[in-house]
């Protein structure tokens, strides 16, 4: 639903030939719907019009506006697209099919052109047309002194995405227009100047960065300027008397349009700019295609969210730019461990007239808050402006070392999430949940928490600093009864890639985990350099097996009774695989009417590309098929991929035979519509090679000979 409100204040004075009017407070052009909260498209503005027509002269007009600010969001495009689609459906329903003329195929006289006839039916000939044009070319355009001036001091177009019930600007265009039009009924002349500035929102550092750079002029920044000039020229008669002349005088154009700029156009495109434009294009594309938004109607995303993941209670003191929550007392809010606190902004003052919107957003006020961990009772100041991580130290009298709290600020589509946590985190890349334990001062083990697959867990402060700094892990899987050997966050930069073993019971194999320590550099509380450190322990499976064949396979590990069915194009982590010790067996199910088995050791020094032999039985005869094995060591797991270099599909309708230089031929009947896997022998699988495809009936050479022997 769209609505607007407009007030007209016309004035007319006939004696002086003066007309004056004003569109006062063009307000509240809004659009709303069930899935979208009401949003303002055009902010309130004023449009003034003044016209004066002296006797015997043309009109003198002056049109001016206040600042025009347009807010365009995907919700706007979605609603307008729905309206246009609804109107188009009605038009198609009313539209009638055109009738075919009865005399469509009859001969017609084509010399009787309708556009050469007058009202009396007179047809012009070549001489009359030439005389008419000659008479018109001699006329001069009359000057009447007409003039119109258009002044738009500021046009701001904001393109943004919808986050909850808010529209977050992602691209802003700030421009102004000053134009003059003279003699529009005669020798028209148009002159105008456009001042332009474009900026995009960089979420990573929470600032507006220029897309079209401003111009530095006399030590000050101004907008880039573009000038437009339109000139209508008088028509001149072309002299065709001398047909033998070599020099041809070209007539001036009827109208000249000149675009020029004295400033160099500097466009800055960065990776963040491309990401912002990509997100913006996707949002508007989905809105135009009437794709339903991911957020439900009425769902609200607040501009600020505070999270406490320290394991301790903290107290926040908010500044007066936030809307105080109901639980606040004297601008203070207590957050227990695991709590979330959504915060909203107070409405700030509106931009003053003719102020640069981009400058205002770049110089926006910072958000400040004060936090303190209750057990320390030491307040610390936090500034919320951009995406960053800062480390704050606290002194504990009874502790041998300093405690540290990391304030992690992240930004996503205008929503700033501030997380208070420790300097140690654990990322679980395993397919099963993992329990994390720590050793206390008496060398006893205590459970901290389970970590779900894919989750990033912040270790509580007490587990980091009140203990020996060592952690153990145990996968939550049947048969895994023992914890892994401990690892310490102290000196984690020297950990490298370490294998942890969690032993199983009498009937289960050990569970293997690879741990990799990632050291992140963060800021100190008042510093400008990345001199502090935060540690993330990544838990990976030792081996991930990829099935790159066009058929499903069964995966079995030595010592385990489980058979894992792996579909084509999928992968599976091998929890019980240990490089250098474990053997793996792969079965290709019902390929060409039989099963194929391949078995090999998962060795530590496997070549990047190697051959894996699979055996099948045709009756009592053993048949071998060579497939490829790709091995890659990543930062976490070893990637093992089974593949076939060539996939054959027979659409010829005849029997085909594939043969390499040193291989036995392989037949491919036309009745087989599935993919046939073809490869070479081990000695030539990864060398340059060429297969020979033959028809079983006869070779090409034999067919040529038969053709020559025919009478």
The average confidence (pLDDT) of the chain is 79
Q: Which of 510, 208, 153, 72 is nearest to 352 (CA)?
A: 153
pLDDT of 436: 94
What is each CA distance from 521 to 128, 186, 232, 308, 524, in whole angstroms? Answer: 88, 70, 65, 21, 10
515 and 593 assigned to the same domain = no
**Overall average pLDDT of the 158-176 stretch:** 75
Q: pLDDT: is 353 or 451 the higher one?
A: 451
Task: State the residue range of the domain holding 584.
Answer: 547-644
635 and 710 assigned to the same domain = no
Query: Checking phi first, is residue 361 left (phi over 0); if not, alpha (psi -120 to 50) or beta?
Result: alpha
Assign 118 to helix, strand or coil. coil
Q: pLDDT: is 42 or 441 the higher one?
A: 42
Q: What are the tokens at 499?
A: 């294998």
In a domain, 471, yes or no: yes
308 and 439 assigned to the same domain = yes
**Overall average pLDDT of the 676-690 stretch:** 64
In a domain, 161, yes or no: yes
What is each CA distance from 409 to 304, 307, 415, in whole angstroms? Answer: 10, 10, 10
Among 488, 510, 540, the domain-final residue is 540
pLDDT of 201: 81
259 and 341 assigned to the same domain = no
pLDDT of 362: 58
The model's confidence at residue 519, banded by pLDDT at 50, 70 and 90, is: very high
Q: How many helices (H) and strands (E) does the chain have?
A: 6, 48
Q: pLDDT: is 406 or 132 the higher one?
A: 406
What percent of the chain clears pLDDT 90, i.e. is strictly above it? 28
Q: Which of 542, 495, 487, 491 is nearest to 514 (CA)?
A: 542
pLDDT of 72: 84
In a domain, 296, yes or no: no
Q: Is the pLDDT reported for residue 365 higher than 70?
A: no
Q: For the chain, how big is the Rg over CA atoms in Å?
A: 39
pLDDT of 247: 67
Q: pLDDT: is 696 or 489 the higher one?
A: 489
Among 75-84, 366-375, 558-567, the least confident range: 75-84
Among 491, 513, 540, the domain-final residue is 540
The model's confidence at residue 534, banded by pLDDT at 50, 70 and 90, is: very high
Q: Is the pLDDT reported for residue 137 higher than 60?
A: no
Integer Cα distance of 555 and 562 in angstroms: 9
What percent of the chain clears pLDDT 70, i.e. is strictly above it? 74
Q: Chain centroid to CA 246: how far?
A: 61
590 and 512 assigned to the same domain = no
Q: pLDDT: is 459 or 81 the higher one?
A: 459
Contact 189, 234 (CB under 8 A): no
529 and 447 assigned to the same domain = yes
Give the pLDDT confidence of 262-275 residue by residue, as tens digits: 999 999 888 888 88
Alpha helices in 390-468 (DSSP H): 461-465
pLDDT of 24: 47
**Number of domains making up the chain:** 4
- CA angle 162/168/170 to nearest 5° reads 110
458 and 367 assigned to the same domain = yes
Q: Is the pLDDT reported for residue 356 higher than 70?
A: no
635 and 660 assigned to the same domain = no
Tell me the range of 116-130, 479-493, 499-513, 545-559 where mean pLDDT is highest.
Answer: 545-559
In the chain the first and final C-alpha atoms are separated, in Å, by: 85
In a domain, 420, yes or no: yes
Among 42-46, 104-108, 303-307, 527-531, the least confident range: 104-108
Tell me the range of 4-13, 632-641, 653-662 where mean pLDDT is highest.
Answer: 632-641
Among 27-41, 195-209, 368-382, 545-559, the least confident range: 27-41
pLDDT of 358: 63
In a domain, 136, yes or no: no
pLDDT of 209: 86
In this prediction the pTM is 0.69
DSSP 189-253: EEEEEEEEEEEEEETTTTEEEEEEPPEEETTEEE-EEEEEEEEEPPP-----S-TT-S--PPPPP
DSSP 312: S
Residue 185 buriedness (CB in 10 A; 0-12 / 13-18 / 19+): exposed
pLDDT of 455: 94
473 and 555 assigned to the same domain = no
373 and 489 assigned to the same domain = yes
Which stretches does DSSP call E strand in 234-330? 255-260, 304-308, 314-318, 322-323
The model's confidence at residue 298, banded by pLDDT at 50, 70 and 90, is: very low
In a domain, 281, yes or no: no
Integer Cα distance of 283 and 280 in angstroms: 5
pLDDT of 703: 41
What is each CA distance from 132 to 112, 156, 546, 574, in whole angstroms? Answer: 20, 50, 83, 92
Among 478, 507, 540, the domain-final residue is 540
Q: Is the pLDDT reported for residue 601 higher than 60?
A: yes
324 and 202 assigned to the same domain = no
231 and 257 assigned to the same domain = yes
Q: Is the pLDDT reported for residue 35 higher than 50?
A: no
Integer Cα distance of 565 and 573 in angstroms: 12
Instruction: Say how many CA atoms lie within 13 Å of 162 toward its Cβ.
Output: 29
In a domain, 266, yes or no: yes
Q: pLDDT: is 662 or 563 the higher one?
A: 563
Q: Is the pLDDT reported for residue 704 higher than 50?
A: no
In a domain, 292, yes or no: no
Contact 555, 572 (CB under 8 A): yes
Give the pLDDT confidence of 230-280 residue by residue, as tens digits: 998 877 666 655 555 566 677 778 889 999 999 999 998 888 888 888 878
Which stretches does DSSP call E strand in 346-444? 367-373, 380-384, 388-394, 403-412, 415-421, 424-428, 434-439
């Amino acid at each position: 639903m769209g609505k607007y409100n407009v007030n007209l204040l016309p004035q007319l004075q006939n004696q002086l030939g003066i007309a004056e009017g004003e569109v006062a407070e063009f307000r509240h052009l809004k659009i709303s719907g069930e899935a979208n909260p009401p949003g303002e498209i055009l902010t309130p503005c004023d449009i003034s019009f003044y016209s004066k027509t002296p006797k015997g002269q043309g009109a003198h007009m002056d049109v001016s506006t206040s600042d025009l600010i347009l807010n365009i969001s995907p919700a706007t495009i979605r609603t307008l697209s729905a309206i246009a689609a609804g109107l188009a459906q009605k038009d198609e329903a009313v539209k009638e099919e055109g009738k075919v003329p009865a005399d469509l195929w009859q001969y017609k006289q084509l010399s009787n052109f309708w556009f050469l006839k007058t009202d009396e039916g007179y047809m012009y000939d070549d001489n009359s047309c030439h005389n008419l044009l000659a008479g018109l070319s001699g006329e001069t355009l009359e000057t009447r002194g007409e003039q119109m001036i258009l002044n738009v001091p500021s046009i701001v177009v904001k393109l943004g995405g919808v986050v909850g019930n808010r529209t977050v600007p992602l691209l802003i265009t700030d421009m102004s227009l000053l134009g003059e039009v003279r003699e529009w009924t005669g020798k028209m002349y148009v002159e105008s100047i456009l001042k332009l500035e474009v900026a995009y929102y960089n979420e990573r550092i929470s600032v507006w960065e220029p897309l079209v750079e401003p111009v530095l002029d006399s030590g000050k920044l101004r907008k880039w300027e573009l000038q437009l000039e339109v000139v209508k020229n008088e028509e001149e008669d072309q002299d065709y008397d001398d047909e033998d002349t070599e020099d041809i005088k070209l007539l001036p154009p009827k109208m000249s349009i000149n675009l020029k700029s004295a400033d160099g156009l500097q466009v800055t495109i960065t990776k963040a700019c491309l990401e912002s434009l990509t997100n913006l294009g996707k949002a508007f594309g989905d809105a135009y295609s009437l794709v339903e938004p991911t957020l439900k109607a009425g769902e609200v995303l607040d501009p600020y969210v505070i999270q406490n993941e320290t394991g301790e209670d903290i107290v926040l003191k908010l500044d007066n730019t936030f809307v105080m929550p109901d639980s606040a007392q004297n601008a203070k809010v207590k957050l227990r461990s695991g709590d979330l606190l959504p915060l909203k902004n107070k409405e700030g003052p509106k931009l003053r007239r003719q102020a640069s919107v981009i400058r205002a957003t770049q110089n926006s006020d910072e958000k400040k808050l004060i936090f303190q961990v209750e057990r320390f009772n030491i307040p610390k100041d936090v500034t919320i402006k951009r995406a960053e991580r800062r480390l704050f130290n606290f002194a504990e009298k009874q502790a041998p070392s300093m405690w540290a709290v990391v304030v992690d600020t992240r930004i996503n589509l205008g929503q700033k999430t501030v997380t208070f946590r420790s300097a140690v985190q654990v990322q679980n890349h395993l397919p099963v949940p993992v329990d994390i334990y720590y050793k206390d001062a008496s060398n006893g083990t205590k459970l901290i928490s389970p970590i779900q697959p894919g989750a990033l867990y912040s270790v509580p402060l007490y587990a980091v600093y009140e203990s020996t700094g060592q952690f153990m892990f145990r996968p939550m899987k049947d048969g895994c009864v023992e914890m892994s050997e401990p690892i310490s966050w102290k000196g984690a930069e020297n950990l490298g890639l370490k294998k942890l073993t969690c032993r199983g019971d009498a009937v289960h194999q050990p569970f293997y985990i690879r741990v990799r320590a990632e050291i992140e550099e963060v800021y100190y509380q008042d510093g400008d350099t990345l001199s502090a450190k935060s540690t993330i322990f990544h838990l990976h499976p030792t081996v991930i097996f990829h099935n790159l064949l066009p058929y499903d396979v069964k995966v079995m590990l030595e010592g385990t009774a489980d058979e894992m069915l792996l579909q084509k194009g999928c992968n599976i982590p091998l929890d019980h695989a240990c490089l250098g010790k474990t053997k793996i067996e792969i079965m290709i199910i019902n390929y060409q009417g039989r099963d194929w088995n391949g078995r090999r050791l998962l060795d530590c020094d496997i070549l990047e590309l190697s051959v894996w032999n699979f055996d099948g039985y045709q009756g009592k005869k053993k048949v071998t098929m060579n497939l490829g094995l790709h091995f890659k060591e990543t930062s976490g797991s070893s990637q093992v991929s089974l593949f076939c270099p060539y996939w054959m599909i027979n659409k010829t309708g005849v029997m085909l035979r594939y043969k390499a230089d040193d291989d036995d031929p392989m037949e491919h009947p036309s009745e087989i519509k599935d993919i046939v896997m073809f490869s070479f022998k081990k000695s030539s699988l990864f060398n340059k090679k060429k297969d020979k495809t033959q028809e079983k009936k006869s070779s090409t050479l034999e067919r040529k000979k038969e053709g020559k022997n025919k009478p």
